[in-house]
Chains A and B, each alone.
Chain A
Amino acid sequence: MIALLLRDLRLAVRAGGGFGLGLAFFLIVVVLVPFGVGPEAEILSRIAPGILWVASLLAALLSLDRIFALDYEDGALALIATSPLPLEGAAFVKALAHWITTGLPLTLAAPALGFLLNLKPDAYWFLFISLALGTPALSMIGTFGAALTVGLRRGGLLMSLLVLPLYVPTLIFGAETVRRGAEGLTTTTPLVMVAGITAGVFAFLPFATAAALRINLR
């Protein structure tokens, strides 16, 4: 499983791998929002938690269709399915690799970008921790969506439609954590919800992903 993780990470950073695509998208959205909304610090700091969370969600969505599509096209997925590696493990590793190449850079960059949106200083820590806990769920749910649509040409639209509703709870509780943090309220409840969703998703979806892959490989 480590071999698959290392290979995916290596492919991501080599030419054409798409590493940084999500991060660049995130950066662009967050930089452009103040231009669109106007420079009033009051408004910006009110919408900052939502903008940062929505932008990171869309950035994660951007690279989902690559998770299985390339391996499916060149036959590697069928070979992995017939290898000793359990497909459930492969699904988990694929999600992990996606998180390391998109979710983790987003989490690390978000506090710096919060500055551009005049995010309240109290909220930086909560932005970081809520993204760190929430983005793994985005990757795992996205991996499941990618597995459902792997055989389809141009399955990206269908996948977005399948995946976005499943992203909503993480988005709501993630943004709520940051908003409460900014206002100095207690953040335990939304933060625990984000963590709970992530834990549940990682417990169940590798199996669902493997089942979807088996059907699509037939």
Chain B
Amino acid sequence: MGMELVVTDLGCARGGVPLLQGVNFRLHEGEALVLRGANGIGKTTLLRTLAGLQPPLGGTIDCPEDQSAYASHADGIKAQLTVRENLDFWASVHGTEVHEGVFQAFDLVELRDRFAGTLSAGQKRRLGLARLGVIGRKILFLDEPTVSLDRFSVKLFADFLKEQHLAKGGIAVIATHIDLGLEAPEIDLEPFRAAYDAGGSSDEAFL
């Protein structure tokens, strides 16, 4: 039986304010979903909830254990480590190894031994995304992955997603404002906006 990500009647909140409710979708191997919606609608919150960084307000997330990875614009790059050292660290945390192909896929071959602190914003972003190619996780939750990437790098990333991830049976949920050129369904989060009194969990006010 194939891997599946099933989200049923999910509600989520940010800082005690309910943002989304009644989100439903089902993704099979090799499928991606693009989240759309205005700023502040709750795309990041939804992705963080899916990744398990915060508890849902309601509903269920059926996701194979230890298969998901989260990536946002804060990608945990250490300026004092080289590109290779950064990737090696995430690889060994996840019990995998860094393959040469990853440097090629993200155009980092010539930057390998540079300190991450000396990279440009776009190069750092590519390094942050290259982490996804290293850790070998099947389900990716991506929050604005293409911020500060030029058109060429966006293409590199879209190719990676299509050929290295989705084609190998991966699943991806992506919040983005641009067209990645994926043949993926999109959902607009506007209809799922939570009613104001949707009832946040009661202890939020004390945290």
List residues of A whose CB falls within 8 A of some B CB.
2-4, 7, 10-11, 14-17, 71, 73-85, 215, 217-218
Smallest beta-carbon distance B10→chain A, Å: 16
How many residues belonging to B are interface residues under a CB distance threshold of 8 Å?
Answer: 31
User: Whose C-beta in chain A lies nearest to the C-beta of B73?
Assistant: A75
Q: In the complex, which of the residues A14, A17, A217 contacts B54, with contact meaning CB atoms closer than 8 Å? A: A217
Interface contact A76-B93, CB-CB below 8 Å: no
B77 cross-chain contacts in A, Cβ below 8 A: 74
User: Whose C-beta in chain B lies nearest to the C-beta of A75?
Assistant: B74
Beyond A217-B53, A217-B54, whether A82 also contacts B80 by CB under 8 A is no
- B89 close to chain A: CB less than 8 A: yes
- B207 close to chain A: CB less than 8 A: yes
A10 cross-chain contacts in B, Cβ below 8 A: 80-81, 85
Q: What DSSP secondary structure best describes chain B's contact surface?
A: loop
Smallest beta-carbon distance B155→chain A, Å: 25
- B3 close to chain A: CB less than 8 A: no
With A and B bound together, what is the CA distance between A169 and B142 in angstroms? 47
Give the interface segment out of B31-39, B63-71, B184-192: B63-71
A71 cross-chain contacts in B, Cβ below 8 A: 76
A80 cross-chain contacts in B, Cβ below 8 A: 76, 93
- B146 close to chain A: CB less than 8 A: no
**Which B residues from 32 to 67 make CB contacts under 8 A with A?**
48, 51-55, 66
B94 cross-chain contacts in A, Cβ below 8 A: 83-84
Smallest beta-carbon distance B73→chain A, Å: 8
10 A-B pairs within 8 Å (CB atoms) are namely A7-B81, A11-B78, A14-B80, A16-B80, A74-B74, A76-B76, A78-B76, A79-B76, A84-B66, A218-B207
Q: Taking each of A10, A71, A78, which has the highest tally of chain B beta carbons within 10 Å of its own beta carbon?
A: A78
